[in-house]
Chain A
Protein backbone atom coordinates (compact mmCIF):
# COMPACT_ATOMS: atom_id res chain seq x y z
CA UNK A 1 0.00 0.00 0.00
CA UNK A 2 0.96 3.64 -0.27
CA UNK A 3 3.24 5.01 2.38
CA UNK A 4 3.69 8.53 3.64
CA UNK A 5 4.45 10.95 0.83
CA UNK A 6 5.94 14.41 1.04
CA UNK A 7 6.32 17.20 -1.46
CA UNK A 8 8.39 18.82 -2.67
CA UNK A 9 11.35 16.51 -2.10
CA UNK A 10 13.74 19.43 -2.43
CA UNK A 11 13.18 23.11 -1.88
CA UNK A 12 15.61 25.99 -2.25
CA UNK A 13 14.47 29.28 -0.78
CA UNK A 14 16.10 32.65 -0.51
CA UNK A 15 16.39 34.02 2.99
CA UNK A 16 13.20 35.81 3.89
CA UNK A 17 10.92 33.79 1.62
CA UNK A 18 7.98 31.78 2.90
CA UNK A 19 7.79 28.04 2.18
CA UNK A 20 5.07 25.40 2.49
CA UNK A 21 5.84 21.72 2.84
CA UNK A 22 3.17 19.09 2.28
CA UNK A 23 2.62 15.69 3.90
CA UNK A 24 0.18 12.99 2.80
CA UNK A 25 -0.03 10.42 5.59
CA UNK A 26 -0.96 6.78 5.23
CA UNK A 27 -4.70 6.57 4.64
CA UNK A 28 -6.62 6.18 7.88
CA UNK A 29 -3.76 7.14 10.17
CA UNK A 30 -5.09 9.42 12.86
CA UNK A 31 -1.78 10.70 14.19
CA UNK A 32 0.66 12.86 12.27
CA UNK A 33 4.02 14.20 13.34
CA UNK A 34 6.53 16.64 11.90
CA UNK A 35 10.24 16.36 12.62
CA UNK A 36 13.31 18.40 11.69
CA UNK A 37 16.53 16.55 10.92
CA UNK A 38 19.80 18.44 10.77
CA UNK A 39 22.74 16.96 8.89
CA UNK A 40 24.29 14.09 10.83
CA UNK A 41 21.66 14.17 13.56
CA UNK A 42 18.57 12.24 14.49
CA UNK A 43 15.12 13.68 13.83
CA UNK A 44 13.81 16.23 16.35
CA UNK A 45 10.13 16.57 17.13
CA UNK A 46 8.30 19.67 15.94
CA UNK A 47 4.57 19.07 16.32
CA UNK A 48 1.83 16.44 16.65
CA UNK A 49 -1.71 16.20 15.29
CA UNK A 50 -4.48 13.86 16.30
CA UNK A 51 -6.90 14.05 13.40
CA UNK A 52 -7.31 17.80 12.77
CA UNK A 53 -6.34 18.87 16.27
CA UNK A 54 -2.82 20.09 16.92
CA UNK A 55 -2.22 18.63 20.35
CA UNK A 56 1.44 19.44 20.78
CA UNK A 57 3.50 22.14 19.13
CA UNK A 58 6.18 22.36 21.77
CA UNK A 59 8.97 21.55 19.33
CA UNK A 60 8.33 24.37 16.87
CA UNK A 61 11.49 26.51 17.11
CA UNK A 62 9.86 29.90 16.61
CA UNK A 63 6.61 31.60 15.73
CA UNK A 64 7.76 31.58 12.12
CA UNK A 65 6.83 27.90 12.02
CA UNK A 66 3.18 26.98 11.57
CA UNK A 67 1.52 23.64 10.86
CA UNK A 68 -2.03 22.69 10.00
CA UNK A 69 -4.10 19.63 9.19
CA UNK A 70 -7.54 21.11 8.55
CA UNK A 71 -9.39 17.94 7.47
CA UNK A 72 -7.45 15.44 9.52
CA UNK A 73 -5.55 14.06 6.56
CA UNK A 74 -3.04 16.12 4.56
CA UNK A 75 -0.83 18.40 6.61
CA UNK A 76 1.19 21.47 5.68
CA UNK A 77 4.20 22.85 7.52
CA UNK A 78 4.74 26.51 6.74
CA UNK A 79 7.87 28.45 7.51
CA UNK A 80 7.69 32.21 7.21
CA UNK A 81 10.63 34.50 6.55
CA UNK A 82 13.04 31.60 6.22
CA UNK A 83 16.49 31.87 7.80
CA UNK A 84 19.65 29.94 7.02
CA UNK A 85 19.34 27.99 10.26
CA UNK A 86 16.06 26.57 8.92
CA UNK A 87 18.03 24.52 6.38
CA UNK A 88 17.35 20.88 7.22
CA UNK A 89 15.34 17.85 6.18
CA UNK A 90 11.72 18.04 7.32
CA UNK A 91 10.20 14.65 7.94
CA UNK A 92 6.57 13.75 8.34
CA UNK A 93 5.42 10.58 10.10
CA UNK A 94 2.01 9.05 10.66
CA UNK A 95 0.70 6.47 13.08
CA UNK A 96 -2.49 4.43 13.08
CA UNK A 97 -3.08 5.02 16.77
CA UNK A 98 -3.49 8.05 18.97
CA UNK A 99 -1.28 9.45 21.66
CA UNK A 100 2.07 9.15 19.98
CA UNK A 101 2.90 6.05 21.99
CA UNK A 102 3.17 3.72 19.08
CA UNK A 103 5.10 3.01 15.94
CA UNK A 104 5.48 5.87 13.47
CA UNK A 105 5.99 5.55 9.72
CA UNK A 106 8.06 8.21 8.01
CA UNK A 107 7.91 9.83 4.61
CA UNK A 108 11.02 10.50 2.49
CA UNK A 109 11.36 14.05 3.77
CA UNK A 110 11.73 17.47 2.19
CA UNK A 111 15.24 18.86 2.07
CA UNK A 112 15.06 22.62 2.57
CA UNK A 113 18.05 24.75 1.70
CA UNK A 114 17.90 28.45 2.55
CA UNK A 115 20.43 30.58 0.69
Chain B
Protein backbone atom coordinates (compact mmCIF):
# COMPACT_ATOMS: atom_id res chain seq x y z
CA UNK B 1 0.00 0.00 0.00
CA UNK B 2 0.87 3.65 0.00
CA UNK B 3 3.47 4.84 2.45
CA UNK B 4 3.08 8.17 4.16
CA UNK B 5 6.13 9.50 5.95
CA UNK B 6 5.18 11.83 8.75
CA UNK B 7 7.76 13.89 10.60
CA UNK B 8 8.83 14.56 13.16
CA UNK B 9 7.79 11.43 15.01
CA UNK B 10 7.57 13.38 18.27
CA UNK B 11 7.97 16.93 19.48
CA UNK B 12 8.48 18.48 22.91
CA UNK B 13 7.88 22.23 22.92
CA UNK B 14 7.31 25.05 25.35
CA UNK B 15 3.87 26.56 25.65
CA UNK B 16 3.57 29.52 23.27
CA UNK B 17 5.94 28.15 20.65
CA UNK B 18 4.93 27.47 17.09
CA UNK B 19 4.88 23.90 15.72
CA UNK B 20 5.47 22.58 12.21
CA UNK B 21 5.01 19.05 10.96
CA UNK B 22 4.80 17.52 7.54
CA UNK B 23 3.73 14.48 5.63
CA UNK B 24 5.11 13.13 2.36
CA UNK B 25 3.89 10.38 0.08
CA UNK B 26 5.36 8.33 -2.72
CA UNK B 27 2.29 8.99 -4.86
CA UNK B 28 0.21 11.96 -5.93
CA UNK B 29 -2.80 12.62 -3.72
CA UNK B 30 -5.96 14.59 -4.48
CA UNK B 31 -7.08 15.08 -0.89
CA UNK B 32 -5.21 15.64 2.34
CA UNK B 33 -6.77 15.51 5.78
CA UNK B 34 -5.23 16.37 9.15
CA UNK B 35 -6.51 14.76 12.35
CA UNK B 36 -5.74 14.99 16.08
CA UNK B 37 -6.18 11.95 18.28
CA UNK B 38 -6.28 11.94 22.06
CA UNK B 39 -5.64 8.73 24.04
CA UNK B 40 -8.64 6.41 23.98
CA UNK B 41 -10.52 8.51 21.47
CA UNK B 42 -11.06 8.51 17.75
CA UNK B 43 -9.28 10.96 15.44
CA UNK B 44 -10.87 14.41 15.24
CA UNK B 45 -10.79 16.18 11.89
CA UNK B 46 -8.83 19.44 11.96
CA UNK B 47 -8.46 20.54 8.35
CA UNK B 48 -9.37 19.18 4.90
CA UNK B 49 -7.44 20.16 1.74
CA UNK B 50 -8.69 19.45 -1.78
CA UNK B 51 -6.52 21.49 -4.15
CA UNK B 52 -2.78 21.67 -4.77
CA UNK B 53 -1.34 24.82 -3.23
CA UNK B 54 -4.38 25.32 -1.02
CA UNK B 55 -3.71 26.99 2.32
CA UNK B 56 -6.45 26.57 4.93
CA UNK B 57 -6.68 27.78 8.51
CA UNK B 58 -8.72 26.62 11.47
CA UNK B 59 -8.04 28.93 14.39
CA UNK B 60 -4.38 28.62 15.33
CA UNK B 61 -3.92 25.75 12.87
CA UNK B 62 -2.87 26.23 9.26
CA UNK B 63 -2.38 23.45 6.73
CA UNK B 64 -1.13 23.48 3.18
CA UNK B 65 -1.56 21.10 0.26
CA UNK B 66 1.88 20.91 -1.35
CA UNK B 67 2.15 21.98 -4.99
CA UNK B 68 3.78 18.67 -5.94
CA UNK B 69 0.66 16.95 -4.53
CA UNK B 70 2.96 14.57 -2.70
CA UNK B 71 3.16 16.45 0.57
CA UNK B 72 1.24 18.46 3.11
CA UNK B 73 2.16 20.62 6.08
CA UNK B 74 0.50 21.52 9.36
CA UNK B 75 1.46 24.48 11.50
CA UNK B 76 0.20 25.30 14.98
CA UNK B 77 0.84 28.79 16.27
CA UNK B 78 1.20 29.81 19.90
CA UNK B 79 0.80 26.28 21.27
CA UNK B 80 -1.23 25.66 24.42
CA UNK B 81 -1.38 22.62 26.71
CA UNK B 82 -4.56 21.27 25.12
CA UNK B 83 -2.70 20.90 21.81
CA UNK B 84 -1.10 17.78 23.31
CA UNK B 85 -1.94 14.67 21.32
CA UNK B 86 -1.05 12.71 18.22
CA UNK B 87 -1.48 14.39 14.87
CA UNK B 88 -2.14 12.27 11.80
CA UNK B 89 -2.08 13.18 8.15
CA UNK B 90 -4.20 11.21 5.70
CA UNK B 91 -4.07 11.30 1.94
CA UNK B 92 -6.15 9.92 -0.89
CA UNK B 93 -5.43 9.43 -4.57
CA UNK B 94 -8.04 9.56 -7.32
CA UNK B 95 -8.26 5.79 -7.42
CA UNK B 96 -9.71 3.58 -4.73
CA UNK B 97 -11.80 4.58 -1.76
CA UNK B 98 -9.33 4.65 1.04
CA UNK B 99 -7.34 7.26 2.83
CA UNK B 100 -3.81 6.31 3.80
CA UNK B 101 -2.68 7.53 7.18
CA UNK B 102 0.75 8.56 8.38
CA UNK B 103 2.29 7.10 11.52
CA UNK B 104 1.57 10.23 13.51
CA UNK B 105 3.43 13.07 15.25
CA UNK B 106 3.21 13.02 19.03
CA UNK B 107 3.12 16.54 20.42
CA UNK B 108 3.93 17.38 24.03
CA UNK B 109 3.50 20.96 25.23
CA UNK B 110 5.40 21.91 28.36
CA UNK B 111 3.61 24.62 30.38
Contacts and interface: CB of A to CB of B under 8 A. Distances in A.
Interface string A27-56: 000000100000011111100100000011
B97 A109 contact: no
A70 interface: no
Interface string A44-78: 11001000000110110000000000000000000
A107 interface: yes
A56 B98 contact: yes
Interface centre among A55, A93, A106 (most CB of B within 10 A): A106
A69 to B, nearest CB: 14
Contacts, number: 67
B97 A107 contact: no
Contacts of A43: 43, 88, 90, 101
Interface string A82-115: 0000000001010000011111111111010000
Contact of A107 (B6, B31, B42, B101): B42
A4 interface: yes
B42 A106 contact: yes
Contacts of B48: 102-103
A108 B42 contact: yes
Given A41-B103, A44-B101, A56-B98, A103 B88 contact: no
Nearest to A92: B42
Interface of A: 4, 6, 33, 40-45, 48, 55-56, 58-59, 91, 93, 99-109, 111
Given A45-B98, A106-B35, A106-B44, 15 more contacts: A4-B42, A33-B97, A40-B104, A41-B103, A42-B90, A43-B90, A48-B97, A99-B97, A100-B92, A100-B99, A102-B48, A103-B45, A106-B45, A108-B40, A108-B42
Ranked 7 nearest A-B pairs via Cβ: A42-B101, A45-B98, A106-B42, A100-B97, A56-B97, A48-B97, A103-B48
